[in-house]
Amino acid sequence: MAEVLPDTLLRVKELSARYGRIEVLHGISVAVNRGEIVSIIGANGAGKTTLLKSIGGVKNLSHGSISFAGTDITTLPAQERVAKGIALVPEGRQIFSRLTVLENLELGAYLRSDKAALAEDFEKIFALFPVLKERLKQSGGTLSGGEQQMLAIGRALMSRPKLLLMDEPSMGVAPLLVAKIFETVQELNSQGLTILLVEQNAKLALKVAKRAYVLEVGAITSEGEAKLLLEDERVQNAYLGG
């Protein structure tokens, strides 16, 4: 079990979640400390997306608790979790394809009224992803997969999160843009943003993370420093191609 430090930002304790009668998460516990990148790796169907949805308030849990910045948020609705500083970049991006790039970004800031700070944040997004500025009036559905992923990240950042939940950011993205997205993940973290990353590409996920958890069939089977898990023979055989 990861040590829960005084600067722990997120603590998930004994979380279980189900779809109908089928339980997909079985009492798992995860801790994320301020300033960390923590990765969750595991096969398809392991429950990784359900975990992030539970933290983000998109999926109700059937048992357990979630605390954020020392406050219990177990029963808070999703929009109140966003207001507290949790933002989700969902699997499959889920941008609004008929809205423009600008409108998608504005939706990320729907809880904010600080216009001067908003203008600053738009410029920060454009510095991270210059292509979004070039495509500002273009509908989101006309962007490439990688550009849509950048837009989904930008939309989440417009809420000024303290914790960014990222679900499979490399999915459906060309290799060159995957490299750009993971460079951005590291850059955001260097600026102080805490990140919980779910990623099918286990090697990439473990290379950028400080710590990691292995999730198998709804249960945590391994956890520890990411660099040590990279060297773990069992993890290598299961997720890193031997």
* Mean pLDDT computed over 19-36: 95
* pLDDT at residue number 6: 62
**Cα 93 off chain centre by:** 11
pLDDT digit string, tens, across residues 55-69: 999 988 889 999 999
First to last CA, the chain: 26
Count of alpha carbons within 13 angstroms of residue 10, beta-carbon side: 30
- Six-digit token pair at 126? 């454009």
* Crossing angle of the two packed helices 115-128 and 145-157, in degrees rounded to 10: 150
User: Across the chain, what does the average pLDDT equal?
Assistant: 93
How do residues 110-121 score in pLDDT, each as one tens digit?
988 888 899 999
User: pTM, whole model, 2 decimals?
Assistant: 0.93
The yes or no reply on domain 8-239 and CATH 3.40.50.300 is yes
CA atoms within 13 A on the CB side of 106: 9
> Which pLDDT score is estimated for 3?
53
| Whether the Cβ atoms of residue 169 and residue 149 lie closer than 8 Å to each other | yes
H/E run at residue 56: helix 48-56
